[in-house]
Structure 1
Amino acid sequence: MGPQKCKVCDEAQSKYKCPNCFIPYCSLVCFKKHKEIPCGKPEPEPEEKLASALAPHVEKPIYVDEPSEALNQSQLESIASSAEILEAVRNKELQTLIYNLDSSLDAETELDKAMEKEEFRIISEKILSIISQ
C-alpha cells in the first residue's frame, strides 16, 4: 500500500494513523482537529446488517415552505467535501440517528429525539456553519 493523503486536511502526505480508527493524518495539528470528534475502532459488519443498510431507499416528496431556504449545489458540495463531516458520519450511532430521521414517518419528532444527542447537535452545527459561509 502506497503513501496516503491526510484525511483531515486532505493536502499533505500522511505520516501517522489514528490509534483508534486508523484514519491517516499528517501532523499534530491535524490529529487534534481529528480528535474534536470522538472516533473508535472500525467494526466489521455482519453481512445481513450490511444488506439491510443497502436496501433500496424509498423516495419521499420534499416539501420546502420557503424555496430560498433550499440548499444550492455549492452548499451541498461544501458539506460533502468537509473532512469534519466525513469523519463524523463514520460514527455508527450518528448513522443510526440519520437513518431513523430519514426513514421516519414523523420526521419532526425524530429530529427532536436526534437533537437530544450531542453528536447530532455537533454535526448539525458544523453543517450550519458550512452553509452560512
Structure 2
Amino acid sequence: MSDVQPAQCQVCQDVVSKYKCPKCRLKYCSVGCYKDHQDRGCSTLPQEPTVEMEVDVHGNIMSRSVLFPTDDTVMPSVLEKLRDSEHLCSLLKNRHLRELLLEVDKSQNAELIMQRVMKEPIFTEFADEILRIVEPSEDGGGSDLDDDV
C-alpha cells in the first residue's frame, strides 16, 4: 500500500494542513493561517457546471459530470465498478468490517482510527480491493479496468 503524504499548509508552508478554504479550496492549518489568507484576498473559484446525468430507459446512469473535481475525485464510472464488485459485496457481508467502517465514518479523528483499523486483516483486504479497482496496476495485471482509460 502506498504511503500518502499529508498536504502542507499553503499559507505558512510549515505545518500539515487540516482544512480547506470554502471559497478557493486553499489548504491551511489553523485559524491564524486562515485569517492571513483572508487578509491577502481570497477569490471564489469559478463555478463548475452543474451535475448532469444521462439515464437510459431502464433507469441506469449512462453518464454524469462531476461538480467539484479534486485530485482525490473518483469518477462515477469507477464508483459503479466498486458497486458492481462481487468481491467487495462479499467482504461487506462481514459484520466486523461494517462496524469498522461505521467507526471510521463517525470518528472525530479518522486518521487515528484508520491507523488502528488498518491493522485488521478484513479491513486491509477491503482497502486493497478498493485500490485494485480505483488505481489498477499499470502492468496490466490484476485488473480489467484499463479499457476505460
- Greater relative CO, 1 or 2 (CA 8 Å, sep 6+): 1
Name which one, 1 or 2, has greater alpha-carbon Rg.
2
Q: Give the structure with the higher percent helix.
A: 1
